[in-house]
Amino acid sequence: MSGRGTPSVRVAVAAVMMSVLAAACASDDSSSVASSPSTTPAAESPSATPEPSGTPSGEADETPTPTDQETLPWGPTEEEYAEAESIVADMSLSEKAGQVIMAGYQGLEPPTDLIAELNLGGVIVMGDNVGSLEQLRQAAAEVQDADSRAYPVMVGVDQEGGTVARVREPATEFPTYMTLGAARDSELTTDVARASGDELRALGFTMTFAPVADVTSGPDDPTIGSRAASSDPGLVAETVAASLDGYADAGIIAVPKHFPGHGSVPADSHEELPVQERTLGELRELDFVPFEAAVDAGAPAVMVGHIDVQDVDPGVPSSLSGDVIDLLRADLAFDGLVVTDAQDMAAITETYGAGEAAVRALEAGSDLVLMPADVAAAHTAIVDAVDEGRLTAERLDEAATRGVAVMLHQQAAGDGPDEDSVGSHDELSYRASLEAVTIATGACSGPYVGDSIQITGGDEQDRARLTEAAEEAGLSVGSGEAVRLLGGASGGSGDVVVSLDTPYVLGESDASTKVALYGRTPAAFRALVDVLLGEVTAHGRLPTDVDGVDQLGCPSPPQSTSSP
């Protein structure tokens, strides 16, 4: 977080960057960045609660100031962790059971009565909970005022950018995460995460379920796609670590997702339980790499997905599997907050009831149960499991303590930006898209069109946004070169074809100029128009392999080595 946590995060990020860059392949294909599996030795008891250090009992030393306190690898200071242990020790069993639940809700009014009654750890805001920005701010304030606890309630949101962003206009629209993989600019990536975190904090959010640390496997990935930075584990690792630095600066709890990796399974866990066929060795070499980087960069939390890893615990969703979560704890040495993916997804509900799923998640080592299908049933089942001896009191204490500790740490970041921050980063969104635009086939320098264009393909909003950007730049729309927008699974013809999400569809087109844009925001279309007119040269690089294209992108101009 800003203040206490940021320096250590930056040091860790720098170390990750050095290791990733040192392993980069010396070829013209800058998308090939290697990263080795973790060599961090596993702790003797990876799931054990850390022993907070401080002034021994009975000594008269003054309490250390925050700057004297060592920061734990996953965010909180030792002092904050010790305070969390004390808070949880004073909770009743019912309160502890509520603390480990983050609930979803219906409509625009947050469930303040339920938060107070069950001591819920937090709530997640989905699209149907969003009205106006003022309504969001008011709802977040009501959540924090629901009871008199001494630490913030978690108010979380999926705000990845691109296709998964619950809060949209008039907040700044950022393009897909794959944009940042194509741009290959760690400083830009940090700036985008910081800006997104600032806007979320201005709206009252304390947690964001981002960045996506999955490595997409390519066209056979039906769920993650452009939500991933790349199909290259090293490039994803570098991008994720840079994002975490920005979120830390913004003072918001970031939750990289979806361990052990959702980008390499051919099914969507919203609809069924995906089966991961890769061996554990392959997972360590590929899917685990960005999560290792996230842990090394000081991630305060990690989300575990609902994935059946056949080589580890066949038939069991990872979020309910002690064997899989032990890999996160031991192999990656992560001792922070483990969050389940939403438990109202079909991968869980088709087999488990809300109560059983919540208890199994905690037994497996998860610390926060996200969106149980029935909050009351999940709460009751957790209480009963402890009363009956199935779930140990120590395990529940550990889970609740981790949740309280990250929120004490978030609280230490201070007040967020004022509301003027919301929607103030359009130029940054434009710069992100501009640095990512990739010429996959065709000349590296424009112009690619004349003074008029015809727009086809895409959806109605895509065409409207490109029309607006073109006309603002002085282009006429309705005749001239044909610019075809490709947003689905099939290609098309035109003088220029433009993929709007993942770039795979470009390989199915016979156009002489093929452009990858990775986004549908107004700023992305502005960037596209500037490239089409030749006002700027595109230097983005394809972040994933695409069959049927001629080039990975256009090289950046060489940097001058002359003295000023």
Marked catalytic residue, from 147, 268, 270, 384: 270
Annotated catalytic residue 323: no
In one-letter notation, the amino acid at residue 25 is C
According to DSSP, the β-strands at 253-254 and 101-103 are: unpaired
Nearest one of 522, 434, 554 to 179, comparing CA atoms = 434
The H-or-E segment that residue 124 falls in is strand 122-125
Closest CA to 98 of 70, 127, 118: 118
Q: What's the one-letter identity of residue 79?
A: E
Buried-exposed string 99-133: b where 16+ CB fall within 10 A, e elsewhere? bbbbbbbeeeebbbebbeebbbbbbbbeeebbeeb
Residue type, 8: S
- Among residues 417, 424, 72, 420, the alpha carbon closest in space to that of 250 is found at 417
Give the Cα separation of 9 and 253 in Å (integer).
13
Are residues 329 and 317 in contact, defined by beta-carbon separation less than 8 angstroms? no
β-pair type (154-157, 275-276): unpaired
Largest CA distance in the chain: 83
Residue type (1 letter), 543 = P
Q: Which of 37, 35, 38, 42 is nearest to 18 (CA)?
A: 35
* Catalytic residue selected from 249, 308, 331, 341: 341
Cβ–Cβ < 8 Å for 548, 507: yes
270 belongs to the catalytic site: yes
The beta strands (E) that lie in 435-563 are given as: 438-441, 452-457, 476-477, 481-486, 496-499, 513-516
* DSSP-derived 3-state class of residue 177: helix
Closest C-alpha among 236, 298, 235 to residue 261: 236
**C-alpha span between 525 and 465 (Å, rounded):** 7
Amino acid at the residue 450: G
Q: E strands of 296-415, at which residues?
A: 301-304, 308-309, 337-340, 369-370
Q: How far is CA 411 from CA 2, 89, 173, 360, 401, in A?
A: 10, 20, 26, 30, 15
Give me the active site residues, please.
Answer: 270, 341
